[in-house]
Amino acid sequence: MNADVPWDAAFDSIAYLDHNYRALQAEDAEILHIIRDHFGDHFRKQGAGPVSGIDVGAGVNLYPALAMMPWCDEITLFERSVSNVDYLTSQIEGYDETWDPFWSALCLKDCYRSLDMDPRERFRKVVRVEQGDIFDLWRHEGRWSVGTMFFVAESMTAVHEEFALGVERFMRALAPGAPFATAFMAHSKGYHAGEHFFPACDVGESEVRASLEAFAGDFKVQRLESAAAVRDGYSGMIVAYGWRANSDSTIPVG
Ligand SMILES: C[S@@+](CC[C@H](N)C(=O)[O-])C[C@H]1O[C@@H](n2cnc3c(N)ncnc32)[C@H](O)[C@@H]1O
């Protein structure tokens, strides 16, 4: 169960960061390509004013927030583990150079390149960190207008019901029509963040599709082409992106 995992005491944020994000890997470059196009195309067509965004289970990963930044006047980095919350908070005043290649990858699309402000200044202005539990997000149904959740629902539990509920909580936190992007480890057996081994739920494209379809309108589930062994014990990565449905095909909670 997710509640039994020592997220505070045992998640080694810096070991996880070193392993996954010290350099821009092919898989993350591919994800950045997909989401910059998805968000860029959505907001170009929509053309409304600034919105609020959320990245659920942010960990120590800043690139989902960077990907939402051009259109947001507020971005919540929502995370459970204290050590990850500390890392995220330490990045607000001026994020590490580690993240520059990620921003540069986004800047291959004009809407990022033409941001009217230094990205660190914009990040400082709009990003806030909130410690919280994904299962409590039902309190904020429909609150955010763009959202991301990368490697969380399947990488926080070995229990399939909790995986599905995690996706549901994320999706329900989004307003009708909100664009979203999610990423999942395919058939993960679990992973290390430092010494401790963390559980994962074995999911493939069909489980990802099934978890989203009641809450998403138009959406796409796609296996990444790049297969660098960034994170051990899994068989690839899945990205799913699209729009929050205007109404659910299940009964609302609360
Ligand atoms: C594999 S990490 C992914 C982190 C980051 N999103 C990334 O892309 O690297 C899983 C994250 O989920 C967080 N997490 C675990 N249980 C959670 C919960 N109940 N609510 C919110 N976050 C949770 C962990 O603390 C960790 O940061």
- The DSSP line for 3-15 is GGS-HHHH--HHH
Determine the average pLDDT of the residues in 169-176: 98
What's at 167, amino acid-wise? V
Q: What is the atom index within ligand 1 of the atom nearest the CA of 134?
A: 20
Instruction: With a cut of 90, say whether residue 231 has pLDDT above it.
Output: no
Q: What is the atom index within ligand 1 of the atom nearest the CA of 149?
A: 6
Q: How far is the CA of 152 from the centre of ligand 1 (A)?
A: 5
Rounded to 5°, the CA angle 93-31-33 comes to 90
pTM: 0.96
Q: What is the atom index within ligand 1 of the atom nearest the CA of 155?
A: 1
Look at ligand 1, atom 27, and give the residue with the nearest C-alpha: 59
Report the C-alpha gap between 77 and 57 in whole angstroms.
7
Q: How far is the CA of 114 from the centre of ligand 1 (A)?
A: 31
Look at ligand 1, atom 4, and give the residue with the nearest C-alpha: 59
Report the C-alpha gap between 95 and 99 in whole angstroms.
7
- Strands 51-56, 72-79: pairing is parallel
Up-side HSE of residue 94: CA atoms within 13 Å toward CB? 1
Q: How far is the CA of 13 from the centre of ligand 1 (A)?
A: 11
Instruction: With a cut of 50, say whether residue 253 has pLDDT above it.
Output: no
Q: What is the atom index within ligand 1 of the atom nearest the CA of 133?
A: 20
For 50-88, the pLDDT digits (tens) are: 999 999 999 999 999 999 999 999 999 999 999 999 999
pLDDT of 229:
57
Q: How far is the CA of 110 from the centre of ligand 1 (A)?
A: 30
Q: How far is the CA of 79 from the centre of ligand 1 (A)?
A: 6
Report the C-alpha gap between 69 and 53 in whole angstroms.
8
Query: Which residues surround ligand 1 with Cβ inside 6 Å?
Result: 2, 7, 11, 20, 57-59, 61, 79-81, 84, 133-135, 150-152, 155-156
φ, ψ for residue 56, nearest 5 deg: -95, 130
Query: What are the residues whose beta carbons fall under 8 Å from the beta carbon of 157, sequence distance 6 or more?
Result: 1, 2, 5, 163, 166, 199, 200, 201
Continuous segment of H or E residues that includes residue 68:
helix 63-68
Look at ligand 1, atom 9, and give the residue with the nearest C-alpha: 61
Average model confidence (pLDDT) across the chain: 94
For 185-204, the pLDDT digits (tens) are: 999 999 999 999 999 999 99
pLDDT of 254:
39
- High-pLDDT (> 70) share of the chain, %: 95
Query: What are the residues whose beta carbons fall under 8 Å from the beta carbon of 104, sequence distance 6 or more?
Result: none
Q: What is the CA radius of gyration of the chain?
A: 17
What's at 113, amino acid-wise? R
pLDDT of 155:
97
Q: Is the dihedral of CA 30, 31, 32, 38 positive or negative?
A: positive
Q: How far is the CA of 235 from the centre of ligand 1 (A)?
A: 20
pLDDT band at 179 (very low <50, low <70, confident <90, very high): very high
Q: How far is the CA of 116 from the centre of ligand 1 (A)?
A: 31
pLDDT band at 233 (very low <50, low <70, confident <90, very high): confident
For 15-58, the pLDDT digits (tens) are: 999 999 999 999 999 999 999 999 999 999 887 779 999 999 99
pLDDT band at 227 (very low <50, low <70, confident <90, very high): low
Determine the average pLDDT of the residues in 144-161: 98
